[in-house]
Amino acid sequence: MSLLNYTLRIADSSLISGQRLAEWCTNAHTLEEDIALSNIALDLFGQANILLEYASELDGNKTADDFAFKRNEREFFNLKMTEQPNGHFGDTIVKLFLFSSFNFLFYNKLSQSKNKNLSAFAFKSLKEVKYHLKHSKSWMVRLGDGTKESNKKVQESLNSLWEFTGEFFEMDEIDNELNKKGIGVNNKSIKEDWNNIINTTLLDSKLKRPEDGYMQTGSKSGLHTEHLGRLLSEMQYLQRAYPDAKW
Protein backbone atom coordinates (compact mmCIF):
# COMPACT_ATOMS: atom_id res chain seq x y z
CA MET A 1 0.00 0.00 0.00
CA SER A 2 2.86 2.35 0.84
CA LEU A 3 4.49 1.56 -2.49
CA LEU A 4 1.25 2.29 -4.35
CA ASN A 5 0.92 5.60 -2.57
CA TYR A 6 4.55 6.47 -3.21
CA THR A 7 4.16 5.66 -6.92
CA LEU A 8 1.04 7.79 -7.18
CA ARG A 9 2.79 10.79 -5.65
CA ILE A 10 5.43 10.77 -8.38
CA ALA A 11 2.92 9.98 -11.11
CA ASP A 12 0.55 12.74 -10.02
CA SER A 13 3.22 15.43 -9.98
CA SER A 14 4.09 14.54 -13.58
CA LEU A 15 0.47 14.31 -14.66
CA ILE A 16 -0.61 17.61 -13.12
CA SER A 17 2.47 19.52 -14.36
CA GLY A 18 1.84 18.08 -17.80
CA GLN A 19 -1.79 19.20 -17.72
CA ARG A 20 -0.78 22.71 -16.68
CA LEU A 21 1.86 22.99 -19.40
CA ALA A 22 -0.57 21.65 -21.99
CA GLU A 23 -2.72 24.71 -21.28
CA TRP A 24 -0.01 26.72 -23.05
CA CYS A 25 -0.66 24.85 -26.27
CA THR A 26 -1.70 27.51 -28.86
CA ASN A 27 -1.09 30.29 -26.29
CA ALA A 28 2.68 30.73 -26.04
CA HIS A 29 4.34 33.88 -27.36
CA THR A 30 6.03 32.14 -30.29
CA LEU A 31 5.29 29.00 -32.25
CA GLU A 32 8.68 27.66 -31.19
CA GLU A 33 8.05 28.05 -27.47
CA ASP A 34 4.53 26.73 -27.89
CA ILE A 35 5.95 23.48 -29.22
CA ALA A 36 8.73 23.43 -26.61
CA LEU A 37 6.21 23.60 -23.76
CA SER A 38 3.95 21.04 -25.39
CA ASN A 39 6.91 18.70 -25.84
CA ILE A 40 7.67 18.97 -22.15
CA ALA A 41 4.01 18.36 -21.32
CA LEU A 42 4.07 15.22 -23.46
CA ASP A 43 7.23 13.98 -21.71
CA LEU A 44 5.45 14.45 -18.40
CA PHE A 45 2.32 12.63 -19.58
CA GLY A 46 4.56 9.79 -20.73
CA GLN A 47 6.13 9.63 -17.28
CA ALA A 48 2.74 9.68 -15.59
CA ASN A 49 1.54 6.93 -17.87
CA ILE A 50 4.41 4.57 -17.00
CA LEU A 51 3.82 5.06 -13.29
CA LEU A 52 0.02 4.88 -13.44
CA GLU A 53 0.34 1.58 -15.33
CA TYR A 54 2.60 0.39 -12.54
CA ALA A 55 0.13 1.68 -9.95
CA SER A 56 -2.61 -0.27 -11.70
CA GLU A 57 -0.47 -3.40 -11.47
CA LEU A 58 0.11 -2.82 -7.76
CA ASP A 59 -3.56 -2.09 -7.16
CA GLY A 60 -4.80 -5.05 -9.16
CA ASN A 61 -8.18 -3.48 -9.67
CA LYS A 62 -8.06 0.03 -11.12
CA THR A 63 -6.65 0.81 -14.56
CA ALA A 64 -4.18 3.60 -15.29
CA ASP A 65 -7.06 5.62 -16.76
CA ASP A 66 -9.13 5.07 -13.63
CA PHE A 67 -6.31 6.58 -11.62
CA ALA A 68 -6.02 9.59 -13.89
CA PHE A 69 -9.68 10.31 -14.55
CA LYS A 70 -11.72 8.86 -11.71
CA ARG A 71 -10.03 10.12 -8.60
CA ASN A 72 -11.11 13.21 -6.70
CA GLU A 73 -8.91 16.01 -5.42
CA ARG A 74 -8.27 14.47 -2.04
CA GLU A 75 -7.06 11.28 -3.73
CA PHE A 76 -4.33 13.11 -5.68
CA PHE A 77 -0.85 13.40 -4.17
CA ASN A 78 0.94 15.74 -6.57
CA LEU A 79 3.17 18.46 -5.13
CA LYS A 80 1.18 21.65 -4.62
CA MET A 81 3.68 23.51 -6.81
CA THR A 82 2.54 21.55 -9.85
CA GLU A 83 -1.13 22.52 -9.62
CA GLN A 84 -0.48 26.27 -9.38
CA PRO A 85 -1.95 28.27 -12.28
CA ASN A 86 0.32 29.11 -15.21
CA GLY A 87 0.14 32.85 -14.68
CA HIS A 88 2.28 34.72 -17.18
CA PHE A 89 5.13 33.08 -19.06
CA GLY A 90 7.66 34.04 -16.35
CA ASP A 91 5.52 32.37 -13.67
CA THR A 92 5.41 29.21 -15.74
CA ILE A 93 9.17 29.24 -16.31
CA VAL A 94 9.95 29.72 -12.62
CA LYS A 95 7.55 26.92 -11.73
CA LEU A 96 9.05 24.63 -14.34
CA PHE A 97 12.57 25.50 -13.27
CA LEU A 98 11.95 24.90 -9.55
CA PHE A 99 10.10 21.65 -10.20
CA SER A 100 12.58 20.36 -12.81
CA SER A 101 15.62 21.08 -10.64
CA PHE A 102 14.03 19.07 -7.85
CA ASN A 103 12.83 16.33 -10.18
CA PHE A 104 16.23 15.99 -11.81
CA LEU A 105 17.91 15.29 -8.47
CA PHE A 106 15.02 13.16 -7.23
CA TYR A 107 15.02 10.90 -10.32
CA ASN A 108 18.77 10.68 -10.12
CA LYS A 109 18.44 9.10 -6.66
CA LEU A 110 15.37 7.09 -7.60
CA SER A 111 17.27 5.48 -10.47
CA GLN A 112 19.26 3.67 -7.76
CA SER A 113 16.08 2.26 -6.16
CA LYS A 114 15.94 -1.45 -5.35
CA ASN A 115 12.51 -1.48 -6.95
CA LYS A 116 13.15 -2.30 -10.60
CA ASN A 117 10.05 -0.55 -11.93
CA LEU A 118 10.89 2.68 -10.18
CA SER A 119 14.59 2.59 -11.02
CA ALA A 120 13.94 1.86 -14.71
CA PHE A 121 11.33 4.61 -14.80
CA ALA A 122 13.68 7.12 -13.20
CA PHE A 123 16.58 6.18 -15.43
CA LYS A 124 14.49 6.68 -18.56
CA SER A 125 12.88 9.92 -17.35
CA LEU A 126 16.10 11.48 -16.16
CA LYS A 127 17.12 12.38 -19.72
CA GLU A 128 13.82 14.13 -20.30
CA VAL A 129 13.99 16.07 -17.07
CA LYS A 130 17.56 17.09 -17.81
CA TYR A 131 16.25 18.87 -20.88
CA HIS A 132 13.34 20.43 -18.97
CA LEU A 133 15.86 21.81 -16.54
CA LYS A 134 18.13 23.08 -19.29
CA HIS A 135 15.28 24.75 -21.15
CA SER A 136 13.77 26.43 -18.09
CA LYS A 137 17.19 27.41 -16.77
CA SER A 138 18.13 29.26 -19.93
CA TRP A 139 14.83 31.14 -19.77
CA MET A 140 15.50 32.01 -16.12
CA VAL A 141 18.76 33.65 -17.17
CA ARG A 142 17.22 35.28 -20.21
CA LEU A 143 14.35 36.81 -18.24
CA GLY A 144 16.22 37.51 -15.00
CA ASP A 145 19.17 39.07 -16.78
CA GLY A 146 16.96 40.62 -19.45
CA THR A 147 15.26 43.98 -19.02
CA LYS A 148 14.32 45.75 -15.81
CA GLU A 149 10.73 44.77 -16.40
CA SER A 150 11.44 41.09 -17.06
CA ASN A 151 13.73 40.89 -14.03
CA LYS A 152 11.06 42.43 -11.82
CA LYS A 153 8.41 40.05 -13.10
CA VAL A 154 10.36 36.83 -12.59
CA GLN A 155 11.58 37.99 -9.20
CA GLU A 156 7.93 38.37 -8.21
CA SER A 157 7.15 34.92 -9.63
CA LEU A 158 10.01 33.45 -7.64
CA ASN A 159 8.92 35.17 -4.44
CA SER A 160 5.35 33.95 -4.74
CA LEU A 161 6.18 30.36 -5.73
CA TRP A 162 8.91 29.90 -3.13
CA GLU A 163 6.51 28.72 -0.44
CA PHE A 164 5.78 25.62 -2.53
CA THR A 165 9.40 24.42 -2.48
CA GLY A 166 9.23 23.22 1.13
CA GLU A 167 7.27 20.14 0.06
CA PHE A 168 10.12 18.93 -2.13
CA PHE A 169 12.14 17.91 0.91
CA GLU A 170 9.42 16.65 3.25
CA MET A 171 9.60 13.11 4.55
CA ASP A 172 6.55 11.40 6.04
CA GLU A 173 6.11 7.81 7.33
CA ILE A 174 5.71 6.39 3.84
CA ASP A 175 8.89 8.10 2.63
CA ASN A 176 10.82 6.93 5.66
CA GLU A 177 9.54 3.38 5.39
CA LEU A 178 10.44 3.07 1.69
CA ASN A 179 13.74 4.85 2.12
CA LYS A 180 14.70 2.32 4.81
CA LYS A 181 13.91 -0.52 2.40
CA GLY A 182 16.13 1.06 -0.26
CA ILE A 183 13.11 1.72 -2.51
CA GLY A 184 12.37 5.39 -1.90
CA VAL A 185 14.52 8.48 -1.87
CA ASN A 186 15.62 10.43 1.17
CA ASN A 187 14.44 13.81 -0.06
CA LYS A 188 16.38 15.66 2.59
CA SER A 189 19.60 14.30 1.09
CA ILE A 190 19.11 16.19 -2.18
CA LYS A 191 18.54 19.57 -0.57
CA GLU A 192 22.18 20.59 -0.75
CA ASP A 193 22.53 19.80 -4.45
CA TRP A 194 19.24 21.56 -5.08
CA ASN A 195 20.50 24.65 -3.26
CA ASN A 196 23.56 24.62 -5.51
CA ILE A 197 21.51 24.50 -8.71
CA ILE A 198 19.19 27.22 -7.44
CA ASN A 199 21.94 29.50 -6.16
CA THR A 200 24.11 29.33 -9.29
CA THR A 201 21.13 29.83 -11.58
CA LEU A 202 19.82 32.76 -9.57
CA LEU A 203 23.25 34.32 -9.59
CA ASP A 204 23.42 34.00 -13.39
CA SER A 205 19.88 35.35 -13.59
CA LYS A 206 20.54 38.35 -11.37
CA LEU A 207 17.70 37.22 -9.12
CA LYS A 208 17.55 37.14 -5.33
CA ARG A 209 16.86 33.93 -3.50
CA PRO A 210 13.75 34.48 -1.35
CA GLU A 211 13.97 33.89 2.40
CA ASP A 212 12.45 30.64 3.62
CA GLY A 213 9.25 31.75 5.32
CA TYR A 214 5.91 30.03 5.56
CA MET A 215 6.04 26.81 3.56
CA GLN A 216 3.03 25.05 2.08
CA THR A 217 2.48 21.43 3.04
CA GLY A 218 -0.19 18.73 2.83
CA SER A 219 -0.13 17.19 -0.65
CA LYS A 220 1.31 13.92 0.67
CA SER A 221 -1.97 13.39 2.47
CA GLY A 222 -4.13 14.68 -0.38
CA LEU A 223 -4.59 18.27 0.77
CA HIS A 224 -4.42 20.81 -2.05
CA THR A 225 -4.84 24.44 -2.96
CA GLU A 226 -8.13 25.49 -4.54
CA HIS A 227 -6.60 25.30 -8.02
CA LEU A 228 -6.45 21.52 -8.30
CA GLY A 229 -10.23 21.07 -8.36
CA ARG A 230 -10.67 23.31 -11.38
CA LEU A 231 -7.79 21.64 -13.18
CA LEU A 232 -9.32 18.23 -12.57
CA SER A 233 -12.77 19.29 -13.67
CA GLU A 234 -11.29 20.20 -17.04
CA MET A 235 -8.95 17.22 -17.31
CA GLN A 236 -11.62 14.73 -16.26
CA TYR A 237 -14.54 16.36 -18.04
CA LEU A 238 -15.02 13.72 -20.71
CA GLN A 239 -14.80 10.81 -18.30
CA ARG A 240 -17.23 12.49 -15.91
CA ALA A 241 -19.74 13.47 -18.58
CA TYR A 242 -19.58 10.22 -20.55
CA PRO A 243 -18.28 7.52 -18.22
CA ASP A 244 -16.24 4.85 -20.01
CA ALA A 245 -16.87 6.46 -23.39
CA LYS A 246 -15.18 4.65 -26.26
CA TRP A 247 -14.33 5.93 -29.71
Partner 1 sequence: MSENTNVWEVFIQSKNGLAHKHVGNVHASDKEMALQNARDLYTRRNEGSCIWVVKSEYIVSSESEDGEAFFDPSNDKMYRHPTFYNMPEGAKHI
Which residues form the interface with partner 1 (CB under 8 A)?
30-33, 35-36, 39, 134-135, 138, 142
CB nearer to partner 1: give 144 or 222.
Answer: 144
The region that residue 206 occupies, defined by phi over 0 for left and psi between -120 and 50 for alpha, beta otherwise, is left
Query: Whose Cβ is closer to partner 1: residue 52's or residue 140's?
Result: 140
- Other CB atoms closer than 10 Å to residue 112's CB: what's the count? 12
Q: At what angle do helices 31-59 and 2-22 cross, to 10 degrees?
A: 160
Q: Between 116-144 and 148-161, two packed helices, what is the crossing angle to 10 degrees?
A: 140
Closest separation in Å from C-beta 74 to partner 1:
36
Q: What's the min distance (Å) between Cβ of 207 and partner 1?
A: 18
* Separation CA 178–CA 47 (nearest Å): 21
Q: Provide, rounded to whole angstroms, the least separation between the CB of residue 34 and partner 1.
A: 9
| CB closer to partner 1, 134 vs 152 | 134
d(CA 44, CA 112): 20
**Would you say 85 and 227 are in contact if contact means Cβ atoms under 8 Å apart?**
yes
Contact by Cβ (8 Å): 179, 185: yes
Q: Which is nearer to partner 1, 31 or 241 (CB)?
A: 31
Q: How far is the CB of 84 from partner 1 (least distance, A)?
A: 24
Q: Please state the closest distance from residue 14 (CB atom) to partner 1, in A.
A: 19
- Identity of the residue, 43 or 91, whose beta carbon is nearer to partner 1 in the bound complex: 43
The minimum distance between CB 40 and partner 1, in angstroms, equals: 9
Cβ proximity to partner 1: between 77 and 139 the closer is: 139
C-alpha 104/C-alpha 160 separation (Å) is 22
d(CA 156, CA 148): 12
